[in-house]
């Protein structure tokens, strides 16, 4: 693994990182790792998310309601 040093962080940023890390129950270092990972990761596309949650292996089967045939509209002659 590679190390990364970040210099010249202002005290407010460090304070907020410390609070955020405590809220998530991790160290500040781990919190920064997670933030950086999320920042550079490709976001999941909506279609992929839909397949993940509602695909063939998930959800329930619903019956499609039947439709009665209808006569198409007539055109004036």
Per-residue pLDDT of the chain (77 residues; tens, 9 = 90+): 899 999 999 999 999 999 999 999 999 999 999 999 999 988 788 888 888 888 777 767 778 888 888 888 888 87
- If phi over 0 gives left and psi between -120 and 50 gives alpha, with beta otherwise, what is residue 23? alpha
Rounded to 5°, angle at Cα 43 from 59 and 54: 10
Q: Quick one: CA dihedral 20, 26, 28, 29, positive or negative?
A: negative
SS3 59: coil
Question: What pTM, to 2 d.p., does this model score?
Answer: 0.56
């Amino acid at each position: 693994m590679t190390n990364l040093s970040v210099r010249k962080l202002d005290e407010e940023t460090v304070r907020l990182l410390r609070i955020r890390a405590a809220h998530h129950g991790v160290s500040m270092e781990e919190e920064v790792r997670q933030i950086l990972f999320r920042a550079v990761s490709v976001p999941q596309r909506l279609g992929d998310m839909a397949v993940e949650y509602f695909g063939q292996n998930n959800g329930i089967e619903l019956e499609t309601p039947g439709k009665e045939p209808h006569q198409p509209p007539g055109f004036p002659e």
